[in-house]
């Protein structure tokens, strides 16, 4: 079982107006098997936290530490983080022109495992995972995210998670833009990962809707670059009723 430990994390980004601090001291520990919902208003820094953990070069870490099972994550390259078991499903998945879903998945699996998957089981695994997510087999021959609908992009992210079997999965607004059926299919995918592996999940969302399907063990309110409050699932219900105003007022 893995443990991701984030301590006093500060991060900045360079903007045309100068360097701006976005993360202002994030403390969070995620253990394998746990689901942590990170909820907060737009612009509070949730995606920045996700990118900082995945190693996006745009974000400079200015203070704090991140460890995975005691290993310094901040010292690792993007690839090393992926091999260590950290997976990021991006809020806005990017197109990869000229690379099919099938090739992309196989390349990612090979990179993460350090060896190519056995062809026999791999083909079956991909087909099974696509069936689970109600994805048409022809999808595998399309270029990654090119012309994908919002729902297809999100399913493709969950397909990757299901095949790569990360120890820590960061899901950044994987629920955004999904209709009820797609939300249920995507949520079932997350729940299968929870049942079949010891994955620890950071589920970033602004809506409580997905939490009806994927039950969080912990809920964190993320405001102005840090966690303003934490609690259990009941905190999500309070946010549904009260919104973020109270936390925003306290943070400013
Ligand atoms: P959230 O995901 O909670 O909506 P983000 O992490 O996307 O928030 O953004 C937090 C703040 O940081 C916003 O004010 C956003 O404009 C700013 N920001 C994030 N990334 C960049 C970037 N690459 N360049 C400039 N500003 C950025
Ligand atoms: Mg946002
Ligand atoms: Mg975001």
Ligand 1 pocket at CB < 6 A: 13, 15, 22, 40, 42-48, 58
For the stretch 1-41, pLDDT in tens is 899 999 999 999 999 999 999 999 999 999 999 999 999 99
User: Closest residue (by CA) to atom 24 of ligand 1?
Assistant: 15
* Tokens representing residue 166 in the block: 């990360």
What ligand 1 atom has the least distance to the C-alpha of 15? 25
What are the pLDDT digits (tens) for 205-221?
988 999 999 999 999 99
3-state secondary structure of 173: coil
| CA distances to 57, 110, 195 from 113, in Å | 23, 5, 21
Residue 212's contacts (CB-CB under 8 Å, 6 or more residues apart) are: none
From the CA of 22, how far away is ligand 3's center (Å)? 12
Nearest ligand atom owner, CA of 40: 1
Q: How many CA atoms lie within 13 A of 22 on its CB side?
A: 22
- Domain containing residue 131: CATH number: 3.40.50.300
Residue 235 structural domain:
3-251
Which residue in this structure is represented by tokens 């409050």?
A: 229
Distance 138 CA to ligand 1 centre (A): 35
CB 220, CB 230: distance < 8 Å: yes
What's the pLDDT score for residue 247? 87
Question: What's the 104 CA to ligand 2 centre distance in angstroms?
Answer: 27
What's the CA gap between 143 and 157, in Å, rounded?
14
Distance 90 CA to ligand 3 centre (A): 9
From 48, 50, 90, 251, give the residue whose CB has the most ligand 1 atoms within 8 Å, as the site to mutate.
48
Q: Compute the distance from residue 243 Cα to the ligand 1 centre, in Å.
A: 21
Number of domains in the chain: 1
Query: Using an 8 Å Cβ cutoff, are 73 and 67 in contact?
Result: yes
Looking at residue 252, its pLDDT comes to 65
Residue 216's pLDDT is what? 97
Is the entire prediction scored with pTM above 0.80?
A: yes
Cα–Cα distance, 14 to 75 (Å, whole number): 21
Mean pLDDT for each 10-residue chunk of the chain (252 residues)?
A: 97 96 98 97 96 97 98 96 96 93 96 93 95 94 94 96 97 93 96 96 94 97 96 94 87 69
Q: Distance between CA atoms of 75 and 99, rounded to whole angstroms?
A: 29
Residue pair 11/61 in contact (Cβ under 8 Å)? The answer is yes
State the ligand closest to the CA atom of 13. Answer: 1
Q: Which residues contact 80 (CB under 8 A, 6 or more apart)?
A: none
Q: Note the ligand closest to the C-alpha atom of 43.
A: 1
Residue tagged 């901040």 (tokens): 74
Given a contact cutoff of 8 angstroms between Cβ atoms, the answer to whether 216 and 185 are in contact is no
The answer to whether 160 touches 105, Cβ cutoff 8 Å, is yes
Q: Tell me which residue has its CA closest to atom 19 in ligand 1.
A: 48
- Compute how many other C-beta atoms are within 10 angstroms of the C-beta atom of residue 95: 13
**pLDDT confidence of residue 249:** 84
Atom of ligand 1 nearest to the CA of 172: 2
C-alpha 106 to ligand 2 mean position (Å):
30
């Amino acid at each position: 079982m893995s443990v991701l430990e984030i301590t006093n994390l500060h991060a900045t980004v360079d903007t045309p107006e100068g360097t701006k601090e976005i993360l202002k001291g994030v403390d969070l520990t995620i253990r394998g098997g746990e689901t942590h919902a990170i909820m907060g208003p737009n612009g509070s820094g949730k995606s920045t936290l996700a990118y900082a953990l995945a190693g996006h070069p745009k974000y400079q870490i200015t203070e704090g530490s991140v460890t995975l099972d005691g290993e310094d994550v901040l010292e690792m390259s993007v690839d090393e983080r992926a091999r260590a078991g950290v997976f990021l499903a991006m809020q806005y998945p990017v197109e990869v022109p000229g690379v099919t879903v099938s090739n992309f998945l196989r390349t990612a699996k090979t990179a993460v495992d350090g060896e190519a998957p056995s062809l026999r089981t791999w083909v079956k695994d991909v087909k099974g995972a696509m069936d689970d997510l109600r994805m048409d087999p022809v999808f595998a021959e399309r270029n990654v995210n090119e012309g994908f609908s919002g729902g297809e992009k999100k399913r493709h992210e969950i397909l990757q998670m299901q095949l790569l079997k990360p120890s820590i999965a960061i899901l950044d607004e994987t629920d955004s833009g999904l209709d009820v059926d797609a939300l249920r299919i995507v949520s079932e995918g997350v729940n299968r990962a929870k049942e079949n592996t010891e994955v620890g999940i950071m589920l970033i969302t602004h809506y409580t809707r997905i939490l009806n399907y994927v039950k969080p063990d912990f809920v964190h309110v993320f405001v102005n670059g840090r966690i303003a409050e934490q609690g259990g699932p009941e905190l999500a219900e309070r946010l549904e009723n009260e919104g973020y105003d109270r936390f925003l007022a306290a943070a400013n």
